[in-house]
Amino acid sequence: MQLARVIGNVVATVKDPNLGGHTLLMLQPISPDRKSVGRAVVALDAMGAGVGEHVFFVRGREATFPFFPGEPPADACVVGIVDSWDVE
């Protein structure tokens, strides 16, 4: 899992039918000290996150697990909304 900040929504009028009804978010991966790391990614949202929130997300095959028994074509998925974290 990785930390990220939700930086936007993605709207696609034409997409795979298995993505119908699912929200797509633009995420900026971040480090534990809240600095941007790497490139932004598009992810399915399984939690109802919004722009500006911190989330954690998974990549790869695990991205489809929250939608079982469906299997939307995804390689990233938000699986939690972060309330807070401390780094010493």
| CA 83/CA 74 separation, integer angstroms | 25
Could you report the per-residue pLDDT of 12-50, keeping only the tens digit for each? Answer: 989 888 888 889 999 999 999 999 999 999 999 999 999
Domains of the chain plus CATH, in order, are 2-81 (2.40.50.220)
Whole-model pTM: value is 0.90
Give the phi and the psi of residue 82 in degrees, each rounded to 5. Answer: -85, 125
Cβ atoms within 10 Å, residue 79: 20
Give the burial class of 85: count Cβ atoms within 10 A of its Cβ; 0-12 exposed, 13-18 middle, 19 or more buried: exposed
Taking alpha carbons only, the member of 2, 1, 43, 3 closest to residue 23 is 43
